[in-house]
Structure 1
C-alpha cells in the first residue's frame, strides 16, 4: 500500500489493547486458530501444511525473512478485530482523525492569486465524515491516489476554505508527499 494507507493501518493499530504476538510459534498458533486449520494458514502464507505444523509444535523457530514478513502482516491484519472496528467507528462517528503531513500543495484559484505549488507542513483535525470516507475507501481496496484525493478534499474544505467561509472556488492539489501520519 502507500503512505496514507499504511498510516491509516498504524493509527488503528494504536488502539490495540494487547500487544501482537512476537514469536513465530505464537503468531502461527494465532493464525491457525483464526483461519480454523493449518491448511488454510499454509495457503495464506504460501508454505506447506507441514511447515505450519512444525511452527505450531515449536520444532521450527525462526522463519525466513519473507515468511516472517508475511506471517507478521497476516497476524496484524487479523489482530483484535473488534477493537479495530470500534476505533474506526469512533473516528467515523464522533472523533474524526488528525492528519499530519508535509507535502506540496498547489491550487487552482481565481485570477490574480498565486497558484504556485509549495511545500507545507500541516497538522489538521479532519471531521468524522472524512474519517468515515477514508476508512470505507480503505476497506473497499481503494488505491493510494483515491485515498489522497479524499484527504486533499478534507484539507481543502477544513484548512484552506475554512469550512466554506473563504476562498470559494479553490481547488487543492496534494502532491509530493514527504511524510503523512494519521492519528485517531
Structure 2
C-alpha cells in the first residue's frame, strides 16, 4: 500500500537521513558567505583599472584557490573512508574546509569569474570523463549517503586540475565584462 505524503515515513529513523537534515545548515552559511563576499569583489574588479599587473595578480590568486580546492576535494573523498558519516570530527573538518573554500572563492575567484576567461581546449573532454569514472568508482565503494558529495568532489578535483593547468600555461585572458567596462 503506498504511503501518504502526510503520514510519517516509518523509515525516517534512518541515521543517514537524520544526519543530512541536521547538518545541512553549514552549506547554506557557506553559500551565503560566498555571495556576501563575492558580489562586492566582483563589482570592485569589474570597475578596476586595466593595468599590466592585473592578469598576473589574478593568476597568482587563482593558483592558490585552485590548489586549495583540489586539496579540499581530495580531503573530502578521503574522509568518506576514514570517518563514519555521523562522525562529528568529519563534519567539523569538512565543514570548516568548505567554509574556507567558499571564502577564498568569494575573495579571489569571483574576480576571475567575472573579468577573465580561460581558453579551454580538448583537455576538457578527458577531465569530464575522468570525473565521471571517479564518481562511478566511488559509487561502488563509498557509503550511499555520500552520493551527491562524491560526485561534486570528483568534478571539483578534475575541473580544478584542468583549470590549474590552463592558468599555469597562460590560457587566461580578459573576459567580456571587463572589456565592456573599460
**TM-score, structure 2 length as denominator?**
0.27
Q: RCO (CA 8 Å, sep 6+): is it higher in 1 or 2?
A: 2
Higher strand share: 1
Please give the TM-score of this superposition, normalised by the length of structure 1: 0.27
